Structure 1
């Protein structure tokens, strides 16, 4: 038993410690900068006809599209942060999901910039419509995430006032185990997805690729499916700690929010935007109502103490 605990502690320090988080941040930021410069260099070499790569790859046709590459690595780091915060705070973990989907949209905006058509009828072009939807969605999501974190602060204040009668250490340990298991899954998925995307986007010899391969559908759709399964398991285990109605609804609501994000990866255009905004808005509303329930409990405790 002691040996297994030692192994657990070793894996936790190796994968989820503050030092590892700092090293991961340095690594991915450095990788993002290097990849951006490398992408620009490849675009220049292709433009000068020094190297010949699949003519169908639009990622090599415009320097602006080079921004797409470093954002891919930043997103991978955000996924690591999501796993990092899973055992530490449920709401911050969910907030990281919202940050990821917002960054995906921002990255998509950089891709759409190379496809814009400037004419008198702006909305006649599908690319222009998608760009407009993404711009509006980014603003809405940015505000909703702010509201979500603001609500989380109020939630933390309420939780500090509510007496804890149940030992939550075992549940936190369980979340740590899930987070440790997610790290290798995340690494394998990210390496495979990135390699597959680079090959299909840049080096495919089939000449069938006429659009940028969507790495979101390769990696994030699968990863969010895994997150949904983890969240359902955590919801079930949470019943050992509390069967409070507002806690159950909050956790269930967060699962629904994650499912909506997952579904968005299989859609395009306005439906994609609606699903993403609806997912985040639903999570914000759920947390706001949950806080109202906690306020009632805090008032009840204050009344009893007085």
Structure 2
């Protein structure tokens, strides 16, 4: 009889391999370009009153929404990457979450454009430029901190391996498979709700909340395999950093980039402290 770990690995590995294929990556990239162009065309048709009522109800009338659509599709790709990277080390998984945060901040910056009329009048754009600059600067600083974080991650010594590694990774693969199923099911449900009722839900905020619980589960699971104080501190600290990321996503303008920068600084500090503690131990 096959074990739970073998089943989890067989469920996850083929999906991961398919997602990492160059053909799949190319198809996703082309789909994003096509969706952006279709969005522009659909908005233009809606402005001219050429769309049927069913489509016109859910189609905006500002071309800037097409930019938001493009960044949303890129963000979806990054979230799927995040799901597939969860079975890797906690350090690498957290780095991917900060990548998603950078894209969300950039998307929020471009979302401010929808408040403007076409064509853009510079005087009217001043109130919109300030939150755009705040989100853009926050994304840039998080990106720079992420570069330092990844540099330290690549230079540090590899963790210890043992018989506990396979069941630990296999359990995380099963968790990633469950998150992928939830991501697809919830995304389809939200799409249906938007198409039928015209109500737009905040998908990424809900999914990031689910990720917090998955991160806490991984932290608790890691304690059964890595009970040392250094590992407990590092994994718990990284879980707190993901919680700060979640607060950044829900925060209003100006506070979101500040919380994102604070989360990045905290994660980098945890990494430095845990490495120093391990070196002195």
Q: TM-score range by the shorter chain?
A: 0.7 to 0.9
What does 1:126-137 align with in structure 2 at a 5 Å threshold? 127-137=128-138
> Is this contact kept in 2: 1:25–1:77, CA < 8 A?
no
User: Which runs of no fewer than 5 residues in structure 2 stay unpaired?
Assistant: none
| C-alpha distance in 2 between matches for 1:89 and 1:249 | 15
The equivalent of 1:147 in structure 2 is 148
The two structures have a TM-score, normalised by structure 1, of 0.79
Tell me how far apart the structure 2 counterparts of residues 248 and 34 of structure 1 sit (CA, whole Å): 46
User: Residues 76 and 190 of structure 1 are in contact (CA less than 8 Å); yes or no, is this contact kept in structure 2?
Assistant: no
Q: Is the 8 A contact 1:59 1:66 kept in 2?
A: no
Q: Distance in 2 between matches of 1:198 and 1:44?
A: 19
Q: Match for residue 118 of structure 1?
A: 122
Is the Cα–Cα contact under 8 Å of residues 151 and 291 in structure 1 kept in the other structure?
Answer: no
User: Residue 235 of structure 1 is aligned with which of 208, 213, 219?
Assistant: 219
Q: Is the 8 A contact 1:265 1:272 kept in 2?
A: yes
1:247 aligns with 2:231: yes
Alpha-carbon RMSD? 2.8
Q: What TM-score do the two structures reach when normalised by structure 2?
A: 0.85
Larger Rg: 1
The alignment partner of 1:87 has SS state of coil
- Note the C-alpha offset of 1:35: 1.0
- Partners of 1:165 and 1:48 lie apart in 2 by 65
CA pair 39-199 structure 1, distance change in 2 beyond 3 A: farther
CA shift at 1:184, angstroms? 0.3
Is 1:225 the equivalent of 2:222?
no
Matched, 1:268 2:252: yes
1:34 aligns with 2:38: no
The 5 A counterparts of 1:175-186 are 175-186=172-183
For the 8 Å contact 1:28–1:73, the answer to whether it is kept is: no
Residue of structure 1 equivalent to 2:270 = 286
In the alignment, the residues of structure 1 paired with residue 6 and residue 274 of structure 2 have an alpha-carbon distance, to the nearest angstrom, of 37
Number of paired residues?
275
Deviation at 1:55, TM superposition (A): 8.8
Aligned-pair CA distance for 1:94: 0.8
Q: Classify the secondary structure of the residue corresponding to 2:134.
A: helix
5 Å-filtered alignment, 1:168-179, equals 168-179=165-176
